Amino acid sequence: MKLILQSLNAEPGAIEHISTLAGAHAIDISDAGRHAWRCDNVTLSDAQKTQLDTACLNAGVDYALHPSHLKLSDFKLLAMDMDSTLITIECIDEIADMQGLKPQVAAITEAAMRGELEFNESLTRRVALLKGLDASALQRVYDERLQLSLGAQPMLAAIKAAGIKTLLVSGGFTFFTDRIKAKLGLDYAHSNVLEIVDGKLTGKVVGGIVNADEKRNTVERVCTELGIAPSQAIVMGDGANDLNMMKIAGLSVAFRAKPVVRAQAGVALNFVGLDGILPILA
């Protein structure tokens, strides 16, 4: 196995300390945009993994223990969650802010992402609070508040250069996923449809809800369409509703994720950007 260490601003000596814990020598593989190190032929006991996890967290370092043979070229699809993964915000929370209801909606969002609240129920409750809001609020959120997460653009550039297809699959809304798909040149997008009547949100979602099961089904459908196995997909997410699709992936990536997701993902990026997958798969 290879151990990849990455950091935006690791303290002097931190990488040496961490590599010593792993019983390996750290080779600097940094480039112009990333600080990264590789340790080869690493085998860790459970006790060493616990030590490594604590040391990295304290030092602001991301680590990935990854099979040496797996490369970016082994994958054919990148499936991404949208809110708090590809973008920095939870769109529904920001829409609610236009209604003066952000604290109430954000609390429900957090509970759902931690896995404490069933997603369908959480979405239904949150969307209901938006009833009567002028639909122009959606455009305001897109124009004024939506930003791509750190490293999104270099990651997508490398993914496209490798010929890998892209899927944005979200428990959020088509208003945002459709625009992001067009802006970034993504291949597929699937999310919920907010009902709008006479220029106002009705507080309802049209059709079925894109929940954890539907996210997994969507990844499987796209893999079938592409003629590939789910093991050839990279899946990135941050919340409990991403776990089902992450479980079928060849590489699951938790990005700025809730503890329940970090614990089950193959790779967790807590500090560096989305392009942190690139040194891992180099």
Taking the alpha carbons at both ends of the chain, their separation in whole angstroms is 13
Please say if 198 is a catalytic residue: no
d(CA 35, CA 93): 33
Of 81, 93, 238, 275, the catalytic one is 81
Residue 241: strand, helix, or coil: helix
d(CA 192, CA 190): 7
Please say if 213 is a catalytic residue: no
Can you give the three-state secondary structure of 1-39, one letter per residue?
CEEEEEECCCCCCHHHHHHHHCCCCCEECCECCEEEEEE
- Angle (nearest 5°) at CA 79 between 73 and 85: 115
Of 83, 93, 242, 275, the catalytic one is 83
Identify any residues that bridge with 38 across adjacent strands, giving them in sequence order.
4, 27
Report, as residue numbers or ranges, the catalytic residues. Answer: 81, 83
